Amino acid sequence: MASQRHLRIINPAHRGSRSFPSFELLPTELRLDIWQLSLQRPRFINIELSPKKHCGEQLQEEQSPYGTHNSLGKVVSGTHYCITANGSQLLSKLLRVSSEARQAALGFYRVHLACHFELGDRQGHGTLFLNPEYDILHIQPGRDIYHFADFIHDLRAHDPLDVGLLNLALDHNCIANLPNIDFSNLLASQAAFADTLANLRQVYFLCLENAGRIYLGPRGGIHTVTGFEFHRSRPIMSTIPTFDRVARDPRDGMDRDLSRVFVGTFDPRQMPCRWHLLLGAWQIRHPHQGPEYRFLVANGWGSGRMAKKAKNISDRDSAAEWLQQEEERWIAGQERHAASILRRGGKLPVESPEELERVPRPAIGFWLFPIEALGPIPGSDALLNPHDNGSSWESKRVVDMRHHWPELCLASMA
């Protein structure tokens, strides 16, 4: 019987000790240090912004923009939009352990925002607790791009230390719409917006494609050697925000997958190109060396049945279910395209039992590449003339990234 090693995730199980009866006997300072140490974990959080009426909240009396103050006495944009956080485990367990642990968590996650929570069919209202130094926010502004600027302003207004956003993740849709912001129209949010973007520490450009693991022939527009490949090393995104940054991906057998990394339906080089063009147009200058730029790659949240299920990977059991269904889809694809596989010089089954024992085990999380891994980035003229036949942009690109071995970030799973 096959060992099914190729379906067992490499994410370590985070299981703490069940109890520590002597913990309360420790000095208060030491207990507080332990709480703080347990909280210092990076998180990747998905934020959607939408008009208030779309969140199912009771609409408040209409207020003039930037005419109200929050509990810190700072001006906020108002009540015209709402925040939706998509994911699981967004609230620290320390908020429910003890009053001492709760105070430590509230102090660490010092930014408190009214929020709509959503995970699959489950929804609710509450407070989102954030730490600007450790949290990476993937912001999706929706139809009104000005909500992006309002949110950045309000995030800073709710920060007792007046820091606000430090780590930003952007997808293609968001960056494509950012030019619609007229900087001169930002009014009260202009200073916070410009200062925040100037002082960002990390900027991630996202490639969360649903087509990156299974390549089923040229009809998908992704060209490989035989046309049928399963890139098992490509990480799978989950709803779990907390992750461990492993640095260099330690798995063996990744050379083929890294030689043909699918980087998106749209040429992802447009994202850093547009971003730097916008910073120049808004006259935003970084006071120091500027942020760390990274290209984030994972099997993500596109369209289709498997993509929707990927949004529900919240623990080891749901990850195992997702991988099993993906495996069944792959086997069915081999049967359906058997003639084409053989015609292209392939074999059936595409992977023998012996080969499956050697393939990289699945990882729930994401890869981080340097921007240079995408290849030379065309100049801004290519953006200004997108229909020019001489344009260097390419759709459905497959890039050789073996010379830029990725960092691996693993979702924290119990």
**Residues 66-118: tens digit of each pLDDT:** 889 999 999 999 878 999 999 999 999 999 989 999 999 999 999 999 999 98
**Does 4 reside within a domain?**
no
Tell me, what DSSP letter sits at residue 95?
G
**Does 171 reside within a domain?**
no
**Does 109 reside within a domain?**
no
What are the structure tokens assigned to 341, written together? 């596989």
**Does 161 reside within a domain?**
no
**Residues 120-175: tens digit of each pLDDT:** 767 899 999 999 999 999 999 988 999 999 999 999 999 999 999 999 999 999 99
**Does 122 reside within a domain?**
no
**Does 31 reside within a domain?**
no
The predicted pLDDT at position 1 comes to: 45
Q: Tell me the C-alpha distance between 19 and 412, whole Å.
A: 20
User: Binning pLDDT at 50, 70 and 90, where does residue 379 land?
Assistant: confident
Lookup result for tokens 């369209």 = 303
Q: Tell me the C-alpha distance between 84 and 382, whole Å.
A: 35
Q: Could you tell me which residues come within 8 angstroms of residue 319 by beta carbon, excluding any fewer than 6 positions away?
A: 9, 11, 236, 238, 313, 362, 364, 413
Instruction: Give backbone dihedrals phi and psi of 305, rounded to 5 degrees, phi first.
Output: -60, -45
Work out how many domains the chain is built from and give that number.
1
User: Alpha helix locations (H) across 136-269?
Assistant: 146-157, 172-177, 190-198, 255-259
Helix (H) or strand (E) holding 222: none
**Does 225 reside within a domain?**
yes
Half-sphere CA count of 55, side-chain side, radius 13 A: 25
**Collapsed DSSP state (helix, strand, coil) of residue 273:** helix
The predicted pLDDT at position 389 comes to: 47
DSSP letter string over 280-298? Answer: HHTT---SSS-PEEEEEEE
- What range defines the domain where residue 387 resides? 201-414
Tell me, what DSSP letter sits at residue 275?
H
Helix (H) or strand (E) holding 389: none
**Does 108 reside within a domain?**
no
The predicted pLDDT at position 11 comes to: 96
**Collapsed DSSP state (helix, strand, coil) of residue 181:** coil
Q: Answer yes or no: are the C-beta atoms of 193 and 186 closer than 8 Å.
A: yes
DSSP letter string over 13-62? Answer: B----S--TTGGGS-HHHHHHHHHHHH---EEEEEEEEEGGGTTPPPPPP
Q: Percentage of the chain with pLDDT > 90?
A: 62
